[in-house]
Amino acid sequence: MSDAGLGIVETRRAVVFTGDRPLRLASGATLPEVEVAYETYGRLNEEKTNAVFICHALSGDAHAAGTHFGDDPKRPGWWDNIVGPGRPLDTDRFFVICANVLGGCKGTTGPSSINPATGEPYGLRFPLVQVRDLVETHRALLRELGIERLLAAVGGSLGGMQALQWAIDHPTEVDGAAIIAASARLSAQNIAFSAVAREAIMRDPDFAGGDYYANDRRPDAGLALARMIGHITYLSEESMREKFGRRIQDAEVPRFGFDVDFQVESYLHYQGQSFVERFDANTYLYMGRVMDYFDPFEDPVHVQTQIAKGGTSFLVISFDSDWRFSTEHARVMASELRGAGAPVTFQEISSPHGHDSFLFAEPPEYHRTVAGYLDRLAAQAGIASREGAA
């Protein structure tokens, strides 16, 4: 992997739906105007065959790689280790796009956006969205960019769900879909975690029914608690043991009280507090619900019909320490896709990092697997090899 990285990048915005052509959601509701925040890396080739779309996870955003002007260069975008010159999403060969999802809070229309009908933030009046609505918004952005077909849609967790839905709904528009640490159907345990996180936010006295935007106080305590709950599920027992064990924070012996005493407690408090400084509580609710309701294989005949329309291939990756979306989730997904007639490569990778493994550069097998898959897609599309690009 190259150490050069992408350097300074810029987040752009595009209005992709307007009053005369609103976004009609899967539920039947409409949004009269949708703006999307996005970033691009690399160059689109003349044939427009080298576009790779990154679909981000629940707490992600458009800033996947590089650094913004004035930011700490040691704190690049959330997937910087996989995007850039010589990296698996090689910007010397691919035109990489990442957009904040519909319902997001980092530049794309969502609950914190102004409702043009009222002049006030939507709050909980923002309609519930589904994964296919996120995909439709991505597709609208691609139309703005003049791109009709993707070499690949790539994503982890909720991002993998988007890549999967994209390939099912629009199989003629996607050569390949890389689905990493994701699930096609949340288990009761996963829905339960989502429910507790949702209750933590909505029971915060400062939630104000979702209309807290003009208030002096926001539901920070509830959102921080929701993030703490979620973060526990993103880590493995092994990684927590290695990072924290039973070590005491800033002391040699326990203080025997109810304040923060163990290092793991301090870490979770930090994660919760840092999260409220960059994320909107309502968006957290909406994205959690998006995942709860996701069930793309509910109608297997429809899936089979759709898969038969295109030649999309799939890469499905799981991590052995991920207990949030375990390997069993990935095996079921791969089996459903194969049963529908799709070519599928499945790989379970050993990693100590739990669900968060998709965000890491190690183990090396992970990035090699993604790079190899994209190399095969690129070769089929007539895009120069890594050696040729160099």
Give the residue among 13, 23, 26, 103 at the shortest CA–CA distance from 60: 103
113 neighbors 23 (Cβ within 8 angstroms): no
Q: Is 169 a catalytic residue?
A: no
CA distances from 7 to 39, 69, 154 (A): 13, 9, 22
Q: Which two tokens stand for residue 348?
A: 């379970």
Buried b (16+ CB within 10 A) or exposed e, 74-98: eebbbbbbbbbbbbbbbbebbbbbb
| 83 Ramachandran zone, left/alpha/beta (phi>0; psi -120 to 50) | beta
- Out of 169, 175, 280, 322, which one is annotated catalytic? 322
Q: Is 266 a catalytic residue?
A: no
DSSP SS3 for 318: strand
Give the C-alpha separation, 221 to 212, whole Å: 13
Q: Is the peptide bond before 363 cis (omega within 30 degrees of 0)?
A: yes
CA distances from 57 to 73, 104, 358, 381 (A): 23, 11, 10, 28
- Out of 112, 113, 157, 194, which one is annotated catalytic? 157
- Out of 56, 63, 355, 367, which one is annotated catalytic? 355
Q: Is 322 a catalytic residue?
A: yes
Active site residues: 157, 322, 355
